[in-house]
Chain A
Amino acid sequence: KNEVEQSPQNLTAQEGEFITINCSYSVGISALHWLQQHPGGGIVSLFMLSSGKKKHGRLIATINIQEKHSSLHITASHPRDSAVYICAVSNTGNQFYFGTGTSLTVIP
């Protein structure tokens, strides 16, 4: 049983397209995190949110606590956005649970 489910697993988009990655979770959370991992690279925190919406540049993250769902949107996608995007939740037991990631490829 996975506490965090992401969809899609793989995503290919043309440069400039609007992209949405979805995340559902089944545990009580203190926060939800969106992470980015470039091929062969480290893991970088993009967002941490516990309610509402956050925006950073072309990236927008939303969360619906009642539905236990979050989305990561990328506007005007660019080849440099190609990476694996990981959804994670930190629960009230002070643990992190991770989704298996969404591999995004943006084609020029």
Chain B
Amino acid sequence: DAGITQSPRHKVTETGTPVTLRCHQTENHRYMYWYRQDPGHGLRLIHYSYGVKDTDKGEVSDGYSVSRSKTEDFLLTLESATSSQTSVYFCAISELSGGYLNTEAFFGQGTRLTVV
């Protein structure tokens, strides 16, 4: 199994509080992604990173920020959690081959976040 872990696995938090989710990899992959998964939707991209300190927004980035200070860690922060951010969050890693993203994607086990 690829070395990718998410923490925490479960979290309940109150509306308005900040929350940080951590994704840690041991594969030395350049690309790291944060997705959210909600019923009726496919995985939706929040933010991704293509290297240390290199990040970009995805389709559902409002209310989220990310940081990547080391190759192995990608942090997702909800600055002020809202009930609409209740979801299951997945981290994924991948790497380029021949300049394209045609290697396997590996996913973390997911973080179930509930905002009450």
Q: Which residues of A contact B (CB under 8 A)?
A: 2, 4, 30-31, 33, 35, 41-45, 48, 50, 86, 88, 90-92, 94-101
- Whether B104 contacts A48 by the Cβ 8 Å rule is yes
State A88–B92 Cα separation when bound (angstroms).
13
Chain B residues in 8 Å Cβ range of A86: 42-43
- Whether A92 contacts B104 by the Cβ 8 Å rule is no
Quick check: is B12 within 8 A (CB to CB) of the other chain? Answer: no
Known A94-B96, A100-B40; contact A33-B45, beta-carbon cutoff 8 A:
no
Could you jot down 16 A-B contacts, CB within 8 Å? A2-B42, A4-B42, A41-B109, A41-B110, A42-B109, A43-B90, A43-B92, A48-B102, A48-B105, A86-B43, A94-B50, A95-B101, A96-B33, A97-B42, A99-B42, A100-B42
Shortest beta-carbon distance, B42 to chain A, in Å? Answer: 4
Known A90-B94, A94-B31, A101-B42; contact A45-B105, beta-carbon cutoff 8 A:
yes
Quick check: is B20 within 8 A (CB to CB) of the other chain? Answer: no
Give residues 57-94 of B contacting A (CB, 8 Å): 90, 92, 94
